[in-house]
Every structure is written in C-alpha cells, then in structure tokens.
Structure 1
Amino acid sequence: MAGLNGRVHDLPGVGSALGGFGAVVTFGEEIRKNDWIGYRRIVKVWPYADAASGGFDKIEELAGRIEAALHEAVLHSEPEAGAVGEAQSFACVYVGSADGDRADALLGGLTRGLRFAVYRQPAGVPADAGPAGAELTALAKLSSELLGSDWHVAADRWPNAVKRPCVLWRLSGSRKVTAKPSAFDVRRTYAAHVLGRGPAEERAALERLTQRLSGAQRLEASAPGTRGATIADVVADLEADGFVKGQLRLDVLERAAAAPVRPGEPDPPVRIGYVGFKQAD
C-alpha cells in the first residue's frame, strides 16, 4: 500500500516503541463459520502516528486508505520457497473500529483499531464445489443467462477466490409438510448472494433476478418429460449482507406421493406432519 511500504509491523515487544507512523497487524482466533464461507478470523490493523507525524489527522488518513484497500478485497498468499503447503485466497471485509482512538506506549503514539473479518475455505478443499443438484443448476443457468458473461456464478459455497461481479446460490433449508394422506409437499429454500462491483450494479442485478423469478411459475426441468419445481415465494432484502447471508430467498414447492401402505400393515401410532432442516447463518 502506497505510503506504508516498510511501515507495517508485528506487535512490538515490551520495552520497545515504534514511533513515527505506520500500522501494526494482530490476529485473533479463527473459527469455522459455516459451509459456504468456511473459516473466519478477525484481524485488527492498528494505524499509529506520533505527534510529529500528524497525530490523529495522520491516523484518520491512514485508516481511510487501509479500509479502502482491504474492504471486500480478495487477498492471495503463496507458500514460502521450500515450504510445504499450497496457495490460498482470503476474502476480507471491514467490520468496524475496535476500542476507539487512544494513546499507546508500545506504538509510541496515538492509534485506532480497524477490524477486518477474513474468510477462507479450509486448506485442501477443491477450488470447484463439484456438480450441483438439478435445482441449483437451473438457478445458476438462469442467473448466468440473465446477468451476462461478466458475472461469475457459483453453487453450494463460495469459491476459494471470489471474483466480482458474482452470484452464489445455495440450499438454505428444506421442509416436508403433509398435504393429505396420499401426498406431501416438499418446500426447499434457496439463498442467493449477489456481489456487484459497486452498489448500483448489485441492486440492479438483484432487481433483475427478483423480477425474473417472481414472473416465472417453475424452474427449468432437469430432463425432458419432467416438470421443474414450482416457484412458491421470492423475497429480496437489500439490507442483508451479500457475502455472509445473501439478499434473495427463493422457495420452491414439489408435491410427492406418499409411500403406499401395504395390506396388513398397522397404521403408524404417530403421523408425522412436518420434517425439515435449515442452515444456520
């Protein structure tokens, strides 16, 4: 980053001070977030400056430049020469300031903590999530045809390197509801994560997807002679986090015949009316 070359450090030891201006990077605990994001670690970047370097005015300048450079950036790491390992990609999202502005003796001046959430897939996970189910495939195809070749479309989970503009479709939940003794309904919920190169492009893509899906009665059939699942509900939330939660929810409905009761079999003591699962955000 221009202006900080050679001025980004690890946390200094006790009894030493940095002085001047620069930035210190500290790493927090890494936890598994969910299936489609992978792991999350909070990284704090501490721009600092002493009075001779401009104090809080300099910190304000550095904080703005650091946020602009890292927010929603995809970072790549290469293993050192001779080391065992593989290249990895990380998605970085600015999540706010930590602790407020303060004086710090170790840094030799004033500082402010900037918090970034860094997401990555586990090491060894293939770059491609593999073949998707028929409904996810239909949603990915519809999105690609509607938004154009500039858009990258993924299914099930984010790829190791997120490239904007992009869309991720994933199965968010499924539930079975008994409609009548001879049949039951299966309602599946899909989530779409839409990331544009800017807010206007992102909103426009969401509006196009919402309008297209709201006007469609069914998803595209997976094979000739079959019918695609019925589109039951489409909801868009423009305030939702596009990377973590997704802004679009789509419910599809499929009716299936219940298994016939064989002659002589007793009636079940309990009739199951609802079965389902939901992925936690």
Structure 2
Amino acid sequence: MNVSMSTRIKKTLKHKLAALVPAWEGRVQDVPASGEVLSGPCAVLAFAEEVPKSAWAGYRRIIKISPYARSEDGGAEQVEVWSAELITGLHQVRLEDGEGGAFTCIYLGSTDSERRDAESGLVTRSLRFGVYIPEPQRTEHADAAGDLWLSALQRWTVDELGPDWSVYTEHWPEGYRMPSVLWRLTGYSTAGVGTAALEVRKQWVGHVLTGHTGMTDQTVGHLVEQLALQSRIAFHPRDVQSNEANESVEGNIRYLSVDEVTADMQADAYLNGQLRLTLSQRISRPMPTAPLMREIHHSKGIQ
C-alpha cells in the first residue's frame, strides 16, 4: 500500500468513525506520540499487518480501532456499546475515498481484553478489521470474455435481479458498486456418459453484497430458490458454437443444467461468498478416426 492510498483510507475511516459515534466529538486520531496523553472519550486508528493478496478480493491490510471511555461515563460497559456500534457500522460495508476509490471493511474479531490506559486512565480494547482494496485487472484477463458459461450466468443474474444491481465476474473491480453480485469459478470436472457423450461440470461461488443484512439474506434466498425452480440457464444463440449431445433446445437456445445450489447465510459476503452452485452440460465425444479397410479375403472352408 502506497502512502497516498493509506492516507486516503485513514482519512475516510476517521470521518466514518466520527459519524458513527458522535460522543467522540470527532476525536478519532492516530497512535499517540510518546508522552502524549489521551483526553476524553475518543478512538485511536492504527494500521497493523499486511495480508497476502486475494485473486478476487484484492489487496488486504489489517487495521485496529480502539475506542476509549472514561470511567465516569461507564468505562468497560461504554466501550462494549461503542464496539457493537463499530462492528454494525463497518462490517462488510463499502466505503469510498475522496478520489472515488472503493474499499470494504470486514470485522475480524478482537484479540485484546479490556484494559486501562496507564497515562490517561481511560478504558479501552482493540477491534480488528480487514480492509480490502480491489486492484485493477489487466485487459487480457477481462472477466467473462473467455467463458461462455460465466457470460450466461452473469446475464441470468442481471435478468433476475434487475438494473439496480451490478453483477461482476471473477473479481471485485475498482470502484465496485452495491448492491452487487460476484460470480467466480472454483472447480471443473468431467465424467463419461456412455460412449458418445461427456458431462462437463463447473462449480461456482456467488457473493451477494448489499448495505443491509436483511436485503442480503433475502437476495441470497431468492437466487437459491430461482436457480432450483428454473433448474437451467440459457445460452443465447450468439454464445453457442458447440456440439452438445442430449441438450435441451428450444429454437436456437441451449441450456446449462443446475445440478446443485446451496447457501451459507453466515459466510463473509465480500471474501468467501454465500452461494455454492454446480452447473453441468453434456457434449458429444469426438468420433475416433481409423484407416479405411482396403481388402477383405473370405474362405468357406477350414484348412
């Protein structure tokens, strides 16, 4: 993370934290310098370790947010109240900096117990959040360009959810919007079906990200139900240049079969995804080639 990016992220988070807890009166600051004593209710924001990049989530960095409360204001109990407000206000929330860059905060838990700051006497504990920053993707790795299945799945999702939703493929893009869905390929297998056909199966993970838990859960449930009820996803005629065997065809439209779809409502929407989907399709095996028989000799008797 370069200095400019880290500065923008800190500035954005400080504004967000000040808005979430008005009692701090805007006192959200960096780690105090040596000898500096904190005063009044406030919060301290600090960058911690970097985490290896994710192919679909982008750059990741850990931050620590530490709310501080005076004993006369409730001490540890007040810290707990503020911690709950921070988790609700930041977990799986998309934030945008002043230059239009988007990042997502994910609550990772707290490894610290409540403690009293020796210099100020304030009570505090630290909350850990992951900051996820999508990275620009190279043009030759453009999302759905090389996978017709992914194009069909993306189109089906857009048709199902409507124009207010953004539907992405393979990775979260820079400046992504909510509400949104991300589909990415996680597995691929084949199996023989007799001597003439081959079944191709692909496994996908779906991420549903919105600003409201209720809306997220409702959308996940809707997609699971519709995939199960419709049981197939259409290729548009312009997408298809193949020799499928035993496929369902209506006019010039061919279909992918929905073999299985499940959802985990507790999964991290941005990083892990709630949906697990398996699609399949049968294709014909190529016929083996052999040299033509040139002569046949036949004899009635046995010598």
Answer whether TM exceeds 0.5 for this pair.
Answer: yes
Contact 1:14 1:106 in 2 (8 A): no
Distance (whole Å) between structure 2 residues aligned to residue 58 and residue 142 of structure 1: 47
Q: CA deviation at 1:108?
A: 4.6
Matched, 1:51 2:52: no
Partner residue, 1:95: 108
| AA aligned opposite 1:116 | F
Provide closer, same or farther for how the CA distance between residues 72 and 238 of structure 1 changes in structure 2, counting only shifts above 3 A: closer
Larger Rg: 2
In structure 2, the partner of 1:141 is 155
Contact 1:32 1:38 in 2 (8 A): no
**1:64-103 mapped onto 2 (5 Å cutoff):** 64-78=84-98, 88-103=101-116
State the distance in 1 between where 2:71 and 2:260 align: 58
Task: Map 1:261-276; keep pairs closer than 5 Å.
Answer: 261-263=288-290
* TM alignment of 1:1-281, pairs within 5 A: 1=18, 2-51=22-71, 54-78=74-98, 88-105=101-118, 108-122=121-135, 124-125=136-137, 130-132=142-144, 133-223=147-237, 225=252, 227-263=254-290
User: Could you tell me whether the CA contact under 8 Å between 1:75 and 1:89 is conserved in 2?
Assistant: yes
For the residue of structure 2 that corresponds to 1:240, the secondary structure is: coil
Please identify which structure carries the higher strand content. 1
Give the AA of the match of 1:76: E
Q: How many residue pairs were aligned? A: 255
Q: Distance in 1 between matches of 2:266 and 2:74?
A: 37
How far off is 1:44 after superposition? Answer: 0.8
Name the CA distance, whole Å, in 1 between partners of 2:76 and 2:171: 41
1:173-207 deviations in Å (ceiling 9; x for gaps): 11122344554321001221122443332232222
Per-residue Cα deviation, 1:70-113 (whole angstroms, up to 9, x for no partner)? 2222223347xxxxxxx532101223223121123366522111
> 1:207 corresponds to which letter in structure 2?
G
d(CA) in 2 for partners of 1:63 and 1:240? Answer: 21
Q: Cα gap change, 1:156/1:69 in structure 2, threshold over 3 Å: closer, same or farther?
A: same
In structure 2, give the amino acid aligned to 1:175.
S
Q: Which structure 1 segments of 5+ residues have no match?
A: 80-86, 265-281
C-alpha separation in 2, matches of 1:63 and 1:126: 39
> Secondary structure in 2 aligned to 1:100?
coil
Displacement of 1:59 in angstroms is 2.3
Change (3 A) 1:148 1:107: farther
Separation in 2 of the partners of 1:175 and 1:30? 35
C-alpha separation between the residues in 1 aligned to 2:85 and 2:231? 47
In 1, are the aligned partners of 2:93 and 2:106 still within 8 Å (CA)?
yes
Are the equivalent residues in 1 in contact too, given 2:143–2:170 (CA < 8 A)?
Answer: no
Q: Which has the higher contact order (CA 8 A, sep 6+)?
A: 1
In structure 2, C-alpha distance between the alignment counterparts of 1:53 and 1:162, rounded to whole Å: 40
Q: Taking structure 1 as reference, are residues 108 and 75 closer, same or farther at Cα in structure 2, changes over 3 Å only?
A: farther
* Cα distance per residue 1:201-224 (max 9 Å; x no partner): 223222221222112243111325
Q: 1:60: how far off?
A: 3.2
Q: Which amino acid aligns with 1:188?
A: K
Q: TM-score, normalised by structure 2?
A: 0.73
Q: Which has the higher helix share?
A: 2
